[in-house]
Amino acid sequence: MSELSMPLERFAMISKEVHRFTFTATLAFTTVFLFFAGTSTAQQSAQQSTPPDTGDVVSTATQDPLTKVIAERLRARMTAFKKSDAVTFGTFLTEDYRSVDVLGLLHGYKPTSQEFAAFPIATFIASQVLALPIGQDGALVTFTLQLTQPNQGPVKLSVGEVWVKQAGLWKCQYSQATATF
């Protein structure tokens, strides 16, 4: 087996697994840790001094206020993904949510519980999170996402998303994930 075929076979295997789930986000999207109970994540953050340590990470140390708010929403969304909670995950998406998976397939629906079950994750790390404002109620969000499945190595993704503010809450409207090595 050539040295080139091994990474290509691994990519094909990863692509098949990732194809089963549509991001954020990525999968992508997208794809990290507060409970959503009808209040904004910012309000919940004020009530909780620090989130419980789950081994999962969304870097927020040096970010501007918009990026921090969206990063916390991303954390909660990815926590729902990790728990295979499609209902909670869907609360972080707009009704017209669309995504493009790592194979380039377009999906015009919110992910289902079956899709989460087909791609279980043990841990996730979202890094290099950056939200750039698009007007008052929109943001272009980019980040690197590393997902680790039980008993498997990590899957790395570069994710681009469009977030919009609806009823005072930031929600993901569009997500596209690209596998990286």
Q: What is the mean pLDDT of the chain?
A: 75
Mean of pLDDT values over 102-108? 90
| More confidently predicted of 102 and 47 | 102
pLDDT at 82 over 90: yes
CA-closest candidate to residue 142, choices 36, 44, 45, 59:
59
CA atoms within 13 A on the CB side of 32: 32
Q: Are 90 and 145 in contact (CB under 8 A)?
A: no
Domain segments of the chain as ranges: 5-180
Rounded distance, CA 153 to CA 68, Å? 28
Query: pLDDT grade, residue 61 (50/70/90)?
Result: low
Determine contact, residues 166/73, Cβ cutoff 8 Å. no
Are 56 and 125 spatial neighbours (Cβ–Cβ below 8 Å)? yes
Architecture label for domain 5-180: Roll (3.10)
Are 130 and 64 a contacting pair, CB within 8 Å? no
pLDDT tens-place string over residues 150-174: 989 899 999 999 999 999 999 999 9
Query: pTM for this structure?
Result: 0.68
Provide the pLDDT confidence category of residue 27 given band limits of 50, 70 and 90.
very low
